[in-house]
Structure 1
Amino acid sequence: MSEVTEKYAPGTPCWVDLMAPDQQAALDVYRDLFGWQGEIGPPEFGGYAMCLLNGKPVCGIGPAMAPPGQPAPPTVWTTYLSTDDADAAQAAITANGGTVMVPVMDVGTVGRMLIASDPTGAVFGVWQPLDFFGAQVVNEPGALTWNELHTGDPAKAKTFYKAVFGADIEPMSMAEAGDYHVLKVGGRPVGGVANLANAPAGMPAHWLTYFAVDDTDSTVDALVKRNGNVLVPPFDMPAGRMSVVADPQGAVFAVIKTKPM
């Protein structure tokens, strides 16, 4: 098991969560798909459920709740980037062309968070750890393994994430990678950046969450049996065999069986 025992460096994806219209249905689907254990949480945390894999936190699933007079939020997996100072990150986001959607708030004693979009339109979260630093298991079947920014303007994204988080976006060195880029923190790859110029017309900028699996094809088949949808059928690529899917409530994510390094 790839356990994480200390907080993530600023700019590193550290957590993902899903706000679902039917929280219990989502918990049931992902329990069957990935083996997560999670229960609806206490009212003081909005019922937010911490999902565990072998007893370790891997992600969160909460109920989708619309602010008074506002439409329901989209059903999406949100990537959170770690920071040492949420207030400073919020100010930097605004100063560098981003938009703050949910201002900094305290989450009990576990941390501080905000939701924003970058100048290219991709929505992400920011997490300042206090008692809780994020996912404690990664890169194992059923756990988070990669986070990927899809943007129509990689150059603008590069400037933004460098200014706000100190992260670098650099071309991938592999010849077969094409114009794929890598998000790096302290010289270490922590995520990917894909150019929407290669995507179907009209696709908005977004962050895509990848979960590791033992078998991509059987995982996709299992999701289809639970009324999920296949957006990109399983295929082989340099990092392994992957697929892009949507759960029964419409949340999009990717699954991948990575090749041995």
Structure 2
Amino acid sequence: MRPEKVLRDSPWPHGHPCWVEVQVEHLGRASAFYGQLFGWTYLDHGPDYQHYLTARLDGRAVADIGPRPAGDTTAEPSAWLVCFAVDSTDEAAEQITRAGGTVLLPPLDVGTHGRFAVAADPAGATFAVWQARAYAGTQIAGVAGSVVWHHCLSTDLEASLAFYADVFGHTVSRSSGPDGEKHLLLELGGRPVAGIGEAGPEGPAEGSSHWRVRFGVADLDAALKTVLELGGTLHEGPFGTPQGRCARVADEQGTPFEVLEVGEPV
């Protein structure tokens, strides 16, 4: 189940992960870190959008990096936020509540870009929903320098599975890892769109439900060397996954993410 290169300029289907973003304390340091690691360039959206930066790979949108809100005194590191495409943010927010989730940030317009809301599933994993307008979402995926996978770790797996089925229409299948371990997949139309499993008791952010974002790299060993040289941290790995060699790391501000070896882009 190796990642496939995807180029897209239209809105993603309802229920499909369509975007990732992160809010950090030091915007310049974060953009430098990811720029050197993934080869990203940036579009600054200016003061009307708090100088949010859209990261680009080969001129195509990959992710957003923005500043933490003024007055945010949270001591914990930032986390990458997974956004799911929806046909209607308002209807999705209502369905999230009916399915046992919590709307943390009610639906709001992001200029002309789209309509956005942040929520948590019944086990507490935070995610967002995005109704695209001028801003369709990720324009490139599945290659080095882009997002290649999203997966949720839940403290109440059955509740999370029922929730994502209710809200996004996900069905569940299983795949085998390199060690024979079974992995649960969330699917749309018979195609996997994300992974899901039980949250473990160890490591950063473990013991609580959360979504993880996995980025592709051409050479995992070289990428890990770069992470460390840039002030980041190796938390776990390399280890095998159904997609290939992977490692769990953090940037120089402590934001966790994963890197997966996918080879050179084609």
Task: Provide TM-score, normalisation by structure 2.
Answer: 0.90
Partner-residue secondary structure (3-state), 1:156: helix
TM-superposed deviation, 1:132: 1.4
Name stretches of at least 5 consecutive residues in structure 2 with no aligned partner: none
- Indicate the SS of the match to 1:248: coil
Instruction: Find 1:239's aligned residue among 213, 224, 243.
Output: 243
Give 1:3 deviation, angstroms. 1.1
Aligned-partner Cα distance in 2 for 1:5–1:50: 15
In the TM superposition, 1:58-77 aligns within 5 A as: 58-66=62-70, 71-72=73-74, 74-77=77-80
1:161 aligns with 2:164: yes
In structure 1, the partner of 2:111 is: 108
Instruction: Give me the whole-angstrom Cα distance separating, in 1, the residues matched to 2:263 and 2:184.
Output: 19
Q: State which of 228, 235, 240 in structure 1 corresponds to 2:232.
A: 228
Report the equivalent of 1:43.
Answer: 47
CA distance in 2, matches of 1:113, 1:64: 17
Q: Which residue of 2 aligns with 1:22?
A: 26
Q: CA deviation at 1:233?
A: 2.3
Cα offset, 1:124, TM superposition: 0.4
With over 3 angstroms needed to count, the CA separation of the structure-2 counterparts of 1:174 and 1:254, relative to structure 1, is closer
Q: 1:9 to 1:55 in 2, by over 3 A?
A: same
Q: Are 2:146 and 1:143 aligned?
A: yes
Q: How far apart, CA to CA, are the structure 2 residues paired with 1:27 and 1:94?
A: 35
Q: Does the alignment pair 1:120 with 2:123?
A: yes
Give 1:93 shift: 0.8
Residue 96 and residue 31 in structure 1: after superposition, are their counterparts in 2 closer, same or farther (change >3 A)? same
* Residue in structure 1 matched with residue 202 of structure 2 by the alignment: 200
Unaligned runs of 5+ in 1: none
2:73 is matched by which residue type in structure 1?
A: P
Aligned pair partner of 2:86 in 83, 86, 111: 83
- 2:141 aligns to what SS in structure 1? coil
* SS at structure 1 position matched to 2:6: coil
The CA distance in 1 between the partners of 2:174 and 2:114, in whole Å, is: 33
Quote the offset at 1:190 in angstroms.
Answer: 0.6
What are the superposed Cα offsets for residues 37-81 of structure 1, whole Å, 9 maximum, x if unpaired?
A: 014431111211111101000000000114x5x634851100001
Q: Distance in 2 between matches of 1:114 and 1:177?
A: 38
Alignment equivalent of 1:218, drawn from 219, 222, 225:
222
1:31 — aligned with what? 35
Letter in 2 for 1:191: A
Q: Is the 8 A contact 2:176 2:183 kept in 1?
A: no
Q: Quick check: 1:179–1:195 contact (8 Å CA) kept in 2?
A: no
Where do 4+ consecutive residues of structure 1 move more than 6 Å? none
State the distance in 2 between where 1:14 and 1:125 align: 10
My pick for the range that moved more, 230-239 or 83-92, is 230-239
- Name the CA distance, whole Å, in 2 between partners of 1:235 and 1:259: 16
How many pairs does the alignment contain?
A: 257
Q: Percent identity?
A: 33
Distance in 2, matches of 1:237 and 1:107, equals 36
Counterpart-to-counterpart distance in 1, 2:25 and 2:97: 30
Among 13, 18, 21, the alignment partner of 1:9 is 13
In 2, the alpha carbon distance for the partners of 1:32 and 1:39 equals 16
